[in-house]
Amino acid sequence: HLAGAQADGKVVLFRDYVAGKGAHYPVLRLLPTGELDQEYNPGPQPEVAGLYLLTAGTLDRQGKLILGATRGVGVQLLRLNHDGTVDPQFQMTGVAGFSTPRALVVLDDDRIVFGGSEADVVRVGSQWTGRYLARIFPDGRHDTSFKSPLPLFGAVSVILPLPAGQL
């Protein structure tokens, strides 16, 4: 899957990844020449290996990769630095549950909106909300001011950002 092109012409890709199935390079970056960028991905990525299935990805405005994945029975988002290491400044909190992120978008204010499939249920704190869209701050904290429309039918597979933070 294409996550996006960085300002320097390098292209970031990720592929579906199932832990334990031998996919040692779930995230790749290509140089403008099309060659694999060895500095970005020098070998197996143990930080990503704990994720069950990579399902969505996008680049933020700084060119860092944000990945959506399932981890056990919950959704996990993580951000990778320019060298491919996990960004410790990004800690997703307050959003968990039975969810598979299918779409990610970074808004102009750097908040992140993600959506999933129709069977997904999101737990925020101790509350099961049944929301299929969630928004988090740039550091990964849940943005509780965002109210997902209910009900949604089908999968949220594309999120289109509009002016003034609308979707």
pLDDT digits (tens, 9 = 90+) for 97-133: 446 778 889 998 999 988 876 454 555 555 545 557 7
Which pTM was predicted? Answer: 0.76
- What would the mean pLDDT of 137-156 be, rounded to a whole number? 76
Residue 90 burial by CB count (10 A; 0-12/13-18/19+): exposed, middle or buried? buried
